[in-house]
Structure 1
């Protein structure tokens, strides 16, 4: 058992606790409070003078799929020769030995949602995983958590270079519609064949991958920067009655009233860095505040390795500089992405029964560039220590 004591605890599940305590047993949080009953033989972690938070949650990245410092040999995120690939699984492309996982835990990031890139109209399956381990299968929280789809410049550029469809936004949308229609029909045929196995359609790996989307068990995860692409994503999700998250949402602040009426969660970023393509023209660290003020649930993302994953808290801090409240910024990198992804029963807050994923900071990473990550704990195990 481990007892963390004397820290300022941001539970993200209610009030902060000054000089609080967290009791950890068997990888789970057993108790949280100011004065809790503590066994005699417990291991003590004294967090005096430190900020104690839930392990940070990165809601959209590609960690382990574009390996650090390798190049082609470690690039496994885009099967960019076929625009419709829902059957590709992130679990088969992630290298947990990649340096980016060490960088993540060094920055207090304990959970990542990672998956294919945005070259394809349908890129494949995202998963949620812990950032510590040497075998992906044992690091998984939930798989799959979403199917990646992409709009705008990326699929247009990739396939125009190959002189094949899609080369226009119309074709991107048409190919997505065609595939979702096929998946809907596949689902109907399966349901209608329950009493007669001979009528069951031939097994189709691509269609099988889309069944959880059609059944609303997981959402489409839509890469969409520009306002018109965001609206196309929403239009198609409505047509097929499926759930969707709006990832990147770079021009979200320009259409905030429309997005508020739609009520879909937005994962905002990567905002740090240059405007490297046309659809990033209006990116701003003011976007999170504008969306939150309109009542939209947001997460802040690095899209790692676009922004190094250890700077997730810095991105939240820059959103604070852009007007977002500090409390909402903490939510955007802890409980909000956990809720958006559907893993908040395990991570995102410090509550009894949840996984013991804890970050201990000396200094506040949202407002102090000189902060240090003192310790990162995942599943009750100290996986990083600054001592």
Structure 2
């Protein structure tokens, strides 16, 4: 298949360039000024971006238009539940999947909510298919951890934690337990002794071995600092999700290389942790040299509104191309799928979105979406 005469978003050229695109067998084969071929789409005057990527979502887990019956977001029985896996709760028939395609979103990292100190693993999936096992890109992409107000709710039922100190202490204990578990497991393997596996600790090994980062739910500035403090103590990977008050401590964040996943910055400030949220955060952090992604935190906001949030960040001063990077190549890099997705380049998956006008224009509409070369919308 060939798409001709479109304005194609090419990051190596820092903008939209008039090009043709050829894709075959799910991969981009060529991007050039002119490509000959019999079967083509005439996209004269249209704009093409990579499929959009949201690095923090709950799509398929907290389903739309169902209510509590479709809400598998949080496991309230235990504040520490690293054994949970998003793949076991994602419903591909959630109507939000089709709505997301209407907004150009082709890939998300989705998982459990923020009621638990340690909530389980997120999964990176493509938004095409009926069987979740066939939609998986990375089954265990990150370990969700939460700081601040939300996990403190366990204290109301007489369980730990009740304070921010308790949240941090429980996370440290879980990391210590994982380190001890690793040592015992290695000793048993070395000495050919029986060893009983623990599902919680097996998942935590992915964190302490550096295979996956902790995905830290953090709004308030001091909670952001606590997440960084613990990540440094245990030498583990970290993403700062929401990072609502990151702009208040930008000089501190500049000292580290932790990616930020900003948002949602839209909507009312419904709790004290979000009183300082603003669409200017993305620009301030980008100006400081930090890697910035933008999220809808679906279902807090609809998955299809991702492009709108990027546009609003651009309206508040974020460079337009950087705003588009924040929902394409940047989350692809954070999710470690950049060798497959996130930009329009030879050899990468043919995840393409055709827009009728510049995608950051409020009036822009998605005309077609391809995922791995197959038309999905």
- TM-score, normalised to structure 2's length? 0.98
What corresponds to 2:240 in structure 1? 246
Which residue, out of 257, 261, 265, partners 2:251? 257
Q: CA deviation at 1:341?
A: 1.1
**Superposition map of 1:1-387 within 5 A:** 2-16=1-15, 18-36=17-35, 38-40=36-38, 43-157=39-153, 159-198=154-193, 201-366=195-360, 368-384=361-377
Q: Is the CA contact 1:12–1:348 (under 8 Å) kept in the aligned structure 2?
A: no
In 2, Cα distance between equivalents of 1:13 and 1:186: 45
In 2, Cα distance between equivalents of 1:374 and 1:181: 51
Q: CA deviation at 1:17?
A: 5.4
SS at match of 2:189: coil
Long gaps (5+) in structure 2: none
Q: CA deviation at 1:39?
A: 4.1
Q: CA deviation at 1:262?
A: 1.4
Q: CA deviation at 1:197?
A: 2.2
In 2, Cα distance between equivalents of 1:216 and 1:14: 34
SS at match of 1:282: coil
In 1, Cα distance between equivalents of 2:126 and 2:232: 32
Q: CA deviation at 1:26?
A: 0.5
Task: Sort the Cα spacing of 1:17 and 1:169 in 2 relative to 1 into closer, same or farther, 3 A.
Answer: closer
In 2, Cα distance between equivalents of 1:267 and 1:11: 22
Q: CA deviation at 1:204?
A: 0.4
SS at match of 1:197: coil
In 1, Cα distance between equivalents of 2:97 and 2:73: 16
SS at match of 2:165: helix
Q: CA deviation at 1:16?
A: 4.0
Long gaps (5+) in structure 1: none
Task: Sort the Cα spacing of 1:58 and 1:256 in 2 relative to 1 into closer, same or farther, 3 A.
Answer: same
Cα deviation 1:11-42 (Å, max 9, x = unaligned): 23445453311111101111111123x444xx
In 2, Cα distance between equivalents of 1:13 and 1:127: 29
Q: CA deviation at 1:202?
A: 1.8
SS at match of 1:194: helix
In 2, Cα distance between equivalents of 1:27 and 1:13: 22
Q: Is the CA contact 1:12–1:54 (under 8 Å) kept in the aligned structure 2?
A: no
In 1, Cα distance between equivalents of 2:16 and 2:281: 30
In 2, Cα distance between equivalents of 1:12 and 1:64: 31
- TM-score, normalised to structure 1's length? 0.95
Q: Is the CA contact 1:312–1:333 (under 8 Å) kept in the aligned structure 2?
A: yes
Aligned-residue RMSD, C-alpha: 1.1
Q: CA deviation at 1:195?
A: 2.5
In 2, Cα distance between equivalents of 1:359 and 1:176: 40
In 2, Cα distance between equivalents of 1:15 and 1:121: 40
